[in-house]
Amino acid sequence: MNLDGWTTDFLAARREGFAEGFNSRMGVGPIETLGKYGDEIGLKEMLHSTAIHFDRGYELNGFAWVTNCWELCLPYDAVGLENWLSNIKKRWPDVKFITQGEFGLIWRNHYKNNNFNYRFEEKGSGIGGSDADMEIRWFMNKDFRLALLKNWKLNTPEKVIDFTWYDLKVKEPEEMTRRWSLMGEINQKQTRPQDKPVTLDELSIGAKSLIKKYYPHLK
């Protein structure tokens, strides 16, 4: 079980690093969110990122989690973090505050055969890289991940911004680098020429066949 350090806003996270002046790590992390936007707007974004999981995410999947680890020990902004946690308790009183290790063991016990399959949906908060007019849908399972993006205000067609399957042949980087990314047919960061958004019909035959196996309703 491998958990990220902190939950990000999916729309912000689709960007590369600090592209266009935004921070791709914005979400519940205090440095990227409270540090950039202050206690009031930062808290609004932290709760927005939390709600993606605890509201619609819970509705879609039947369970939800949000991670925030080592940054919580920093004397960064105690007031902002306290406000975030107290607001979580008020809005979602049944939420449990546990360690990532404990959650990892619960996950492993529940998904003994790695047969997870969960979804997320988000409309942007309008803060930073979380575009207010955009909607993103993520589909994640043991074989691949798929992200669809559209402008919900203009009702534009959804396009694939990420399709990554998990049976790729990979090896550890041979040089001193942080490039550990698993790059599939199309990647949300759009760092390669092939990463421009496409419709589902424009994906490879193999990709479409695999997607249809899990999500036959997607067209």
The model's pLDDT over 168-208, given as tens digits with 9 standing for 90+, comes to 787 777 777 777 777 889 999 999 999 999 999 999 999 99
Confidence (pLDDT) at 4:
74
Higher pLDDT, 73 or 82: 82
pLDDT at residue 76 is higher than 70: no
Domain of 193, CATH number, reads 3.30.1120.110
Q: Please, which pLDDT band fits residue 143 given cuts at 50, 70 and 90?
A: very high
Do 34 and 64 reside in the same domain of the chain? yes
From 57, 86, 117, give the residue that closes a domain: 117
Domain of 75, CATH number, reads 3.20.20.510
pLDDT at residue 74 is higher than 90: no
The total number of structural domains that make up the chain: 2
As a whole number, mean pLDDT of residues 16-39 equals 90
Least confident interval from 58-62, 135-139, 180-184: 180-184
Do 112 and 139 reside in the same domain of the chain? no
Print the domain residue range for 3: 1-117
C-alpha to C-alpha distance for 163 and 200, rounded to whole angstroms: 10
pLDDT at residue 79 is higher than 80: no
Query: Residue 127 domain-assigned?
Result: no
Confidence (pLDDT) at 69:
78
C-alpha to C-alpha distance for 183 and 29, rounded to whole angstroms: 25
pLDDT at residue 55 is higher than 80: yes
Do 7 and 31 reside in the same domain of the chain? yes
Tell me how far the alpha carbon of residue 141 is from its chain's centroid: 14
pLDDT at residue 62 is higher than 80: yes
Only one residue has tokens 């049976």, namely 167
**CA distance from start to end of the chain:** 32
pLDDT at residue 153 is higher than 80: yes
Query: Residue 126 domain-assigned?
Result: no
**Average pLDDT score, the chain:** 91
From 117, 150, 169, give the residue that closes a domain: 117
pLDDT at residue 123 is higher than 90: yes
Could you give the strand order of the β-sheet that contains 144-151, starting from the edge strand earlier in sequence?
A: 117-123, 134-141, 144-151, 159-165
Do 49 and 15 reside in the same domain of the chain? yes
| Among the listed residues 160, 144, 156, the one whose alpha carbon sits nearest the alpha carbon of residue 197 | 160
pLDDT at residue 71 is higher than 70: no
From 117, 149, 164, give the residue that closes a domain: 117
pLDDT at residue 1 is higher than 80: no
Q: How many residues does the chain have?
A: 219
Least confident interval from 1-5, 165-169, 180-184: 1-5
Confidence (pLDDT) at 111:
92
